[in-house]
Structure 1
Amino acid sequence: MRKTILAIAILSITIGCKKEEIANPIAENQKPIEQLISGNQRFINEKSIHPHQDKKTVLKNQNEQHPFAVVLTCSDSRVSPEVLFDQGLGDLFVIRNAGNLISDIDMGSIEYAVEHLDVKLIVVLGHTECGAIKAYIADKDNLYKKHLSHIDDIVETLAQEKEEQEEEKKMPKDQNLLGSINANIAHSTNLITQNPIVKEKHPKIVSMRYDVHTGKIVQL
């Protein structure tokens, strides 16, 4: 009887240790970009472990934050970085707007993360089927100039991007959705790269694209 109880106790401890290992699968020697890539791999394989999403994490982070990456991405409801990269509370410093564009406020947020939070990785995450890019492509007649809505501001910003203009020289924009999406990602990445504070702190800067059809994120 005693042997049975002892065996059950040992088994319980072993299972508990395994659960703890599963709950925190990120190896200490993993680079930030590797953490994101492996997290997305878990997501697309339907093996997400949802780390750092409990009350313990809330209490641990209540007085300060230590994210390991900045993610600039789109406001699209299908593009949630914490879900797609299988991360949790306090892991990612996320900045979102329609079209993953860069305004002064967005750049200020990036500067804060790099300078004050010492983040070592910045990711610009665009995605397929982006509504902001589709609006830009559909605006063949420059209708944004005839209106005063903030949506038109997004389209106008895209139209002024050098990378978008160069991409359109290769192929008409209404025939090149993916090219326009990639050009917009490149534009935001280039702006971040040129920022003085970013240059001083030299974090790794990565361009990525999420496929809303497959769940997979690729590095560009």
Structure 2
Amino acid sequence: MKKIILVSFLMLLAATGCDKNDTKKLEENKNQTPLEKLVSGNQRFLEEKTIHPHQNKKSVLENQNVQHPFAIVVTCSDSRVSPEILFDQGIGDLFVIRNAGNLISDIDMGSIEYAVEHLDVKVIVILGHTECGAIKAYIGDKNNDYKKHLNHIDDIVETIAEEKEEQEAEKQTPKQDNVLGCINANIEHSNRLVQENLIVKEHKTKIISMRYDVHTGKIIQL
């Protein structure tokens, strides 16, 4: 009977992807800086050694009345870019703001201010990614002569086109030949907008630019 129980337990561990070192990794995760948590989490994701921290009912109950995220992540709505998965984090860990092209509107800025001022988050990550549809739409806009969608998609393209960083990148290399440069310029534009926010300045919140590669799963710091 004991052998049957042991075998069943081992089968359960294998099925859930649990590892004997997961407890140790969870403890290490607690003691890391916010940036270290993000970097090591993505490394676990790349190596297929994710520990899925705080992804259980216990975490729901622990966060039901209050939240203490350790990082704000401003990123794209793209279905391939899910911060909690890519950084191997869970419930209550990340305050995530998503829209097409990881742009910063007044509403997004208000969300950032809330997390900084009321949740005391010390790190903001601007996470762009390769193969971004919003940037591709902007690049396809040759001399502002793209086909008008007659809807809000145009607002996205026009907002990107007005970014100073994009205009500077265009002076160096035609955007059609500089997809990655355009992606980076867009990330840096959002970074600059957040840096200029008075509440972010007052709280001395750290701002980090990152880019996710949809081909490899790797996230790098710019």
What TM-score results when the alignment is normalised by the length of structure 2? Answer: 0.88
Shift of 1:21: 1.5
Q: Distance in 2 between matches of 1:116 and 1:193?
A: 18
Matched position secondary structure for 1:24:
helix
Which residue matches 1:68?
Answer: 70
Q: Distance in 1 between matches of 2:25 and 2:92?
A: 15
**Retained in 1: the 8 A contact 2:140–2:146?**
no
Where structure 2 has 5 or more consecutive residues not aligned to the other structure, the ranges are 1-5, 7-12, 14-19
Which residue matches 2:107?
Answer: 105
Which residue matches 1:187?
Answer: 189
Shift of 1:203: 1.1
Structure showing greater Rg: 1
Q: Distance in 2 between matches of 1:32 and 1:121?
A: 7
The one-letter code sitting in structure 1 at the alignment partner of 2:81 is V
Q: Distance in 2 between matches of 1:23 and 1:170?
A: 45
Shift of 1:19: 6.7
Q: Distance in 1 between matches of 2:55 and 2:25?
A: 9
Which residue matches 1:88?
Answer: 90
What TM-score results when the alignment is normalised by the length of structure 1? Answer: 0.89
Q: Distance in 1 between matches of 2:35 and 2:25?
A: 19
Which residue matches 1:166?
Answer: 168
Where structure 1 has 5 or more consecutive residues not aligned to the other structure, the ranges are 1-7, 9-14
**Retained in 2: the 8 A contact 1:69–1:122?**
yes
2:152 to 122, 126, 150: 150
The one-letter code sitting in structure 2 at the alignment partner of 1:90 is G
Q: Distance in 2 between matches of 1:23 and 1:54?
A: 17
Runs (4+) off by over 3 Å: 25-29, 143-148
Shift of 1:146: 5.0
CA RMSD of aligned residues (A): 2.1
Which residue matches 1:212?
Answer: 214
